[in-house]
Amino acid sequence: HDMGKIWMQPVSVQDARPNQGIYDEAGNTATLRSTWTHAIEDGADWVQLTTWNDYSEGSQFAPSLHNGHAYLDLTSYYLTKFKTGSWPKIVRDTLYLSARTQFADADPTGDQSLVMSLRKGSAPPRDKVEVLSFLTGAGTVRTTVGTAQGGYEAPAGIHAQLIQLTAGTSSAQVVRDGKGGVKVDLPYRVDHKVEVQDLQYYAATSGREQ
């Protein structure tokens, strides 16, 4: 801007390139939320969604079998702020659940010729399930990750909670006054032994049927 130029902020879900043997640690939805925050707070003129349908890099926003509309719906919240200057009101409870289907250090047992390694300068790899909540009011979020059950108090608004990744599937549900509310399931099983490496994050949302 000081040079009289416009700035186009790239907004990205994640970047995992099995055909090039490299990946970045996306931190569940942290990269998506952070790049949108930069676009908003730094006064970007344009935004580039990188990219709509590049499935070879796991970076797609387009609705897909394993992610449904989760990344696209999450983007719509930040896009509204970017375009209008005002945050949209949270009018219904919504949960987003994201995790990998394998651990970052999993050693594939198949005949994979090229195994991805972490890109230099990336954040360290992590094995976490993220529950991202958009709540109209404070509430309890009950979680199941593999065989581990837990819960925590989530505030009104947006809140991200990290839970240790374990083998099995994951789910989360909002509970208020002893009554179960919206629920989200991430049905893709996490295993310690894998045949093929897959370090992209899978996501689901309670806002839609997958």
Q: Is residue 110 included in any domain, yes or no? A: yes
Identify the three-state secondary structure at position 84: helix
Average pLDDT value for residue range 61-71? 92
Q: Is residue 79 included in any domain, yes or no? A: yes
Domain count, the chain: 1
Q: Does 112 or 78 have the greater pLDDT score?
A: 78
Q: Exposed e or buried b for every residue in 15-34, given b needs 16+ CB within 10 A? A: bbbbeeebbbbbbbbbbbbe
pLDDT of residue 209: 67
Q: Is residue 3 included in any domain, yes or no? A: no
Any idea what the CATH number is for the domain that residue 102 is in? 2.60.40.10
210, pLDDT greater than 60: no
pLDDT of residue 208: 83
43, pLDDT greater than 80: yes
Give percent of the chain with pLDDT exceeding 70: 99
3, pLDDT greater than 80: yes
pLDDT of residue 58: 87
Average pLDDT in the chain: 95
Q: What pLDDT, in 10s, does the model give residues 141-153?
A: 999 999 999 999 9
Q: Is residue 1 included in any domain, yes or no? A: no
- The CA distances from residue 89 to 12, 36, 135, 168, in Å, are 24, 18, 10, 35
Q: Is residue 111 included in any domain, yes or no? A: yes
Domain containing 188: what range? 8-205
Q: Is residue 2 included in any domain, yes or no? A: no
Q: Is residue 94 included in any domain, yes or no? A: yes
Q: What pLDDT, in 10s, does the model give residues 7-32?
A: 999 999 999 999 999 999 999 999 99
Q: Is residue 52 included in any domain, yes or no? A: yes
Q: How far is CA 84 from the centre of its chain?
A: 24
Average pLDDT value for residue range 114-122? 95
